[in-house]
Amino acid sequence: MSLKKSVICLTAAGFLAVTPLFPTQSHAGSQVKSQQSSTPEPYPGHVIKYGDRGSDVKKVQQQLTRNLIPTTADGIFGKKTLENVKLFQHYRFLTEDGIVGPTTWNTLYQTSLPYPGHVTKIGDKGENVVNIQKRLKAVVGNVTVDGDFGPKTEAKVKEFQKKMHLQVDGIVGRETWEVLFNYQE
């Protein structure tokens, strides 16, 4: 099994511990704060699914919003919450069943930086680039953190992609982002 598949499998299984990488992030597209809880709520011991109501549903909805999937925290697991849980599961390479079991619950409380919803590539500037550069510096070393995705950052992205057996294109799409921000040596 390749290292990439191992990382994804471990992440999906909920076994990969992720440490906080950055302070609270604001993302221009949604203006929602990614504020991960400093103390994760323990799994309630039962699945949370479509049709459920109550405080556990409200916690799921709040964590979805904190993971940049805005969800009304009304405590009712309706159609929109179901869609948002499936979207979250998709972004985190989990089984897209819309059911919040232990793996989805724990992943909702991870502090890894969620994918911003768009590719980041040469010519881009800003907070996402800073975050990518900080992670690349920690993983492959010798990266200037200046918020400008130039040729040197692109080269480091390609180096990381090659190391992780990803498509080597120098573009940080969803797959590269997820592997980069969930990678531990």
CATH code of domain 124-182 = 1.10.101.10
Q: Is the pLDDT of residue 72 over 60?
A: yes
Structure tokens at 139: 């993983």
Question: Is CATH 1.10.101.10 the right assignment for the domain spanning 52-109?
Answer: yes
Burial class (CB in 10 A: 0-12, 13-18, 19+), 121: middle
Q: Which residue has the higher pLDDT, 6 or 68?
A: 68
Mean pLDDT of 89-108: 89
Q: Residue 177 has which token pair?
A: 């982002």
pLDDT at 27: 31
Surface-to-core class of residue 45, CB atoms within 10 Å of its CB (0-12 exposed, 13-18 middle, 19+ buried): exposed
Q: Which residues of 49-75 are buried (b: 16+ CB within 10 A; e: fewer)?
A: beebeeebbbbbbbbbbbbbbebeeeb
| Per-residue pLDDT at 183 | 65
**The predicted structure's pLDDT at residue 36:** 38
Would you say the CATH fold of 124-182 matches that of 52-109? Answer: yes
Q: What is the pTM of this model?
A: 0.46
Rounded Cα–Cα distance for residues 151 and 23 (Å): 27
Strand partners, 48: 100
**pLDDT at residue 77, as a whole number:** 98
| Local confidence band at 33 (pLDDT 50, 70, 90 cut-offs) | very low
Q: What residue spans define the domains of the chain?
A: 52-109, 124-182
**CA gap 181, 178 in Å, rounded:** 5
Q: Is the confidence at residue 21, as pLDDT, over 50?
A: no
